[in-house]
Amino acid sequence: MLTLAILASSASADYDQFFKEFKDAYKEMGSSLSSKPPARVATISNFVYEKDLATFTFKEGKMYLLREIDGRPTTAIFLGEGHARMTIPNHTERKSLEYVSAKSEVDEAFEVAFVNFSDDFDLKLEEQFQFEEGTLNWKDFNKSQQGEFFFKPVVMHTYDNYFQLLRSHFERADDGFFYIDFGRYVFSFDPNRPEETIVAYEHEGGDQEATEGAVLQRKENNVYEDYALSNVPYPTTILHRNANFNMAGLDGKNISLADVTLTLQINDDSLRFVSIFLNHNLKLDSAEYNDQKCHFWRRGSFTFGGIILPEYRYKGDTIDVRLFYHGKDYDTPLPFVEDPTPAQQTLTLDVPRGFDYAMPAVEVMESPVGKGDRFVSQPAEPYRIFQFQPYAAGYDTLETVSEVGITLSFLKAGHIDKAHYKDFVPDETYRPAVTDAFNYLTGRLGVPTGTFEIFIYPEGNKSLPGLMCVPQVLQLVDGTGSIHMVAANAAARQWFGALMRPKTDREFWLLDAVPDYMSLMFISQALEPGIFFGELGVRRNHIYNVISNDEDRPLAGGRRVWTADRAAKGSWLIHMLRFMMHDLETGSDRTFFRFLNELKILTNSRLFSNEDIIRTAEKYYGESLDWFAHQWIYGRNIPEFRVDWKVDERSDGHYVVADVVASKVGNEFKAPVVVRVNSEGGQSVLERVMIEGNEDSLELGPYDFEPEGIIFNEFWSVLSKDKVNKK
């Protein structure tokens, strides 16, 4: 027993020493370069360094090596003549890079390069050139400080660059961390990110961070096809969250103590540094591993944090990491990792008496901790995100039973009324709009999974299955969907929301698109079709503005695409699929709703990719939709159609003949466009035609009436700009 105690004590001392070395190294990474720091210096020429998809040629100049840790430099500054070349092997990421830099590849000369690394960059240099002891003078540092500016960790960064470099440093290998800033470009390779290679660009002068353009897995993984982008090797996956919260504060929103155990599966071959993410307003106090305190690193109010385990764990292992934190004003109260796979969870809230919390699958009992209540939620379904909505005493609950027998519990507070808010939506408008939206969707999508009662929270936040957040203080504007649209969007997240299981964030567009489009379909019925097309036009104009500023990105760019852009373009994508499945003879959307129902089952029952979405749509469209995905999920820009048409009279009837030019898109573009042909006498015929390439022609007919006019792109069946002229 004594021997075991000595071994345990020795292991603990080694672990503490390792963390001390890590902290010292982190401090060194942040040391100033403005006070003539020591450096090794060499004049170099024709040095070629290849890193993943990038080739850097340092033709002639001076190279400084600085910030030594364990006898190896981690920073380099080059002054002279150099060149960078990068060819992006994936269509989507070429398009994404076009957004940030106006170019789909990199072919740039540079005079200054700032490098941070923990790979073999220094060894390759020292094989060819003789370095001598020296210093970095102020003039040379001043030339290179922009690179220092972008590398230094700031809260906008998803990761802490110092931490990422050092975790690679302590596992130093030839394929370790490499970051280079040259001109307005930044290239980085980080072996500890799910997608290791990033080409970024200073999109606008004065940016606080470089904007990520192309984001890819390492070159040897051969991820060249667009669909393959969803096969990301995440280092860890959350299997379960067991969370215990002590709540306090006058509003019941203050987490005085959170005690959360994450059960993680290790997916990397070996792992000692574990990336976690926690809302920046929540302060991480301590962490445990195997019931023992373990070291962690989190800079200021970063969302990113790193747990440093006392030992390596290996692929297939399952570990428990216990986190203690506190804070308030959160958006997401639970920790998460890069992998968005939903997890089972148990959430227990101990709260002062007089507060209530709306959340899915909740059970209320007396708290054994002090005087108060305990709220326990343990949903049967795994959640990607989980939220609870606190509200103080004084709320009444008004119940309405939906058409399928589900109780809708409206939480009503005395302080939310016309006397306090000029934009208050009266109950006689608010409750019917919410109930009608829910009934509309259940009539088409069936009963939500695992739902027996739904709380309607009137102050707005996240909507989850069992919880709909619909603000009752809302500015109503004539001619818009207003409360009806907001209610339907929240209701749609009962089916298309936190239970959905995207493989990566490249599928996140669907999470915003379907609820948004379902809200548009609801207002078409609840109000009038004109408002539907008005709101669809608002989204189209938003997309036009994004394109006019050259800021459109492929939907498969994931979180790099602004939420408003994802929702607008994604909603239009769903609209186009609808009218590709729409029965032009009967006006029925039955096939489209069959598609949505299968999509609902698919996205809530297993991990789904963008390819899965397309393959499901193909079942109801009847043909391959790879071209559609290439254009609308993995591509950018929209077509501008110019249509010149005339009527030909022939022996068998009248024909509409048209020349169609599609600009702003490639020659591979294609689109099924709905055309309405009208007669002077009021007759009308709908046709669906496939427009292909930049120049095409169409011939419609024969008709037993003389066409008087056509509506090209009826129902706005394709997201486009249209100019139609009769010859």
**Residue 525 covered by a domain:** yes
Phi-psi region of 200 (alpha: psi -120 to 50; beta: other; left: phi over 0): beta
23, two tokens: 């902290």
Sign of CA dihedral 337, 341, 347, 351: positive
Q: What is the pLDDT of residue 7?
A: 46
- Has residue 322 been placed in a domain? yes
Q: Looking at the structure, tell me whether residues 241 and 269 fall in a common domain.
A: yes
Cβ 236 vs Cβ 215: under 8 Å: no
Report which residue type is found at 549: N
Q: What is the mean pLDDT of residues 78-88?
A: 97
The predicted structure's pLDDT at residue 105 = 96
Cα–Cα distance between 161 and 263 in angstroms, integer? 26
CATH number of residue 539's parent domain? 1.10.390
In this predicted structure, the answer to whether residue 137 has a pLDDT above a threshold of 50 is yes
- Backbone phi, then psi, for 148, in 5-degree steps? -60, -40
Which of 435, 484, 491 minimizes the C-alpha distance to 464? Answer: 491
| pLDDT value of residue 63 | 96
Phi, psi at 498, each rounded to 5°: -70, -10
Please name the residues in contact with 190: beta carbons below 8 A apart, sequence gap of 6 or more: 159, 164, 168, 177, 179, 196, 198
Tokens 């702003």: give the residue. 664
List residues bridging with 44 in a β-sheet: 61
Residue closest to 416 by CA, chosen among 430, 402, 435, 433 = 430
Which of the residue ranges 354-368, 572-586, 595-609 would you say has the lowest mean pLDDT?
A: 354-368
Which of 200, 224, 248 is the C-terminal boundary of a domain? 224
Residue 359 pLDDT greater than 70, yes or no: yes
Residue where a domain stops, chosen among 177, 201, 224: 224
Q: Whole-angstrom Cα distance, residue 187 to residue 183?
A: 11
Note whether residue 9 is domain-resident.
Answer: no
Show the CA angle centred on residue 320, arms to residues 248 and 161, nearest 5°: 85
Tell me: do 195 and 256 sit in the same domain. no
265-269, 390-394, 551-555, 559-563: least confident range: 390-394
Nearest-angstrom CA–CA distance, 476 and 422: 11
Cis peptide preceding 702, ω within 30 of 0: yes
Which stretches of 406-502 are DSSP H helices?
Answer: 427-445, 482-492
CA contacts within 13 A on the Cβ side of 319? 28
Residue 594 host element (H or E):
helix 590-605
Separation in Å, CA 694 to CA 244, 661, 667: 60, 6, 5
611 belongs to a structural domain: yes
- Considering only CA atoms, which of 325, 226, 258 is closest in space to residue 630? 226
Q: Count of alpha carbons within 13 Å of 581, Cβ hemisphere only?
A: 22
Mapped onto helix, strand or coil, the DSSP state of residue 400 is strand
| Domain at 324, CATH number | 2.60.40.1730
User: E-assigned strands of 190-253?
Assistant: 197-201, 211-216, 236-248
> Are 200 and 253 in a shared domain?
no
- Residue 350 in contact with residue 247, Cβ under 8 Å? yes
Span 692-715, average pLDDT: 95
Residue 645 lies in a domain: yes
Q: How would you label 466-489 residue by residue, b for 16+ Cβ within 10 Å and e otherwise?
A: bbbbbbbebeeeeebbbbbbbbbb
Per-residue model confidence (pLDDT) at position 1: 54
217 plus 250 within the same structural domain: no
Half-sphere exposure of 139 (CA within 13 A, CB side): 1
Are 568 and 591 part of one and the same domain?
A: yes
Residue 704 CB: number of other CB atoms within 10 A? Answer: 10
Q: Where are the alpha helices (DSSP H) in 633-668?
A: none
Percent of the chain with pLDDT over 90: 79
If asked whether residues 198 and 254 sit together in one domain, one would say no
| Domain with 620 in it | 505-632
Sign of CA dihedral 298, 302, 307, 313: negative
Does pLDDT of 5 surpass 70? no
Whether the per-residue pLDDT at 477 is higher than 80: the answer is: no
**d(Cα 104, Cα 110) in Å, to the nearest integer?**
18
What element of type H or E holds 521?
A: helix 509-526
Q: Which of 178, 201, 224 marks a domain boundary?
A: 224
Task: Taking residues 413-430, report their average pLDDT.
Answer: 85
User: SS3 for 53?
Assistant: coil
Both 105 and 190 in one domain: the answer is yes
8 Å CB contact between 211 and 97: no
448: which DSSP letter? P
Residues 6+ apart with CB under 8 A from 515: 488, 489, 490, 492, 493, 496, 497
Residue type, 231: N
User: In this structure, what token pair is assigned to residue 86?
Assistant: 């990068």
Residue 74 has a CB neighbour count (10 Å cut-off) of 25
Residue 692 one-letter amino acid: E
Residue 682: which pLDDT band, with cuts at 50, 70 and 90?
A: confident
Q: How far is CA 14 from the centre of its chain?
A: 40
Q: With helix as H, strand as E and coil as C, how does 328-396 read?
A: CCCCCCCCECCCCCCEEEEEEEEEECCEEEECCCEEEEECCCCCEEEEEECCCCCECCCCCEEEECCEE
Same domain? For 191 and 111 the reply is yes
Q: Which residues contact 199 (CB under 8 A, 6 or more apart)?
A: 54, 86, 88, 97, 106, 185, 186, 187, 212, 213, 214
Are 112 and 243 within one domain?
no
Domain-located, residue 290: yes
CATH assignment of the domain containing 648: 2.60.40.1840
Distance in angstroms (rounded) separating the CA atoms of residues 447 and 464:
14
Candidates 641, 639, 651, 625; CA nearest to 675 is 641
Instruction: Please tell me the total count of domains within the chain.
Output: 4
- Res 9: pLDDT: 59
Q: Which percentage of the chain shows pLDDT scores above 70?
A: 97
Does a structural domain hold residue 695? yes
- Distance, first Cα to last Cα, the chain: 98
| Mean pLDDT computed over every residue of the chain | 92
Instruction: Give mean pLDDT, residues 310-323.
Output: 96
- Helix (H) / strand (E) element for 680: namely none
Give mean pLDDT, residues 140-161.
82
Contacts of 550 (CB under 8 A, 6+ apart): 99, 102
- When pLDDT is averaged across residues 349-378 and rounded to a whole number, the result is 89
Helix (H/G/I), strand (E/B), else coil: 285? strand
> What's the average model confidence in pLDDT over 268-295?
95
Residues 671 and 718 in one domain: yes
Indicate if 689 and 610 belong to the same structural domain. Answer: no
In a domain, 692, yes or no: yes
Band the pLDDT of 4: cuts 50, 70, 90: very low
147 and 259 housed in the same domain: no
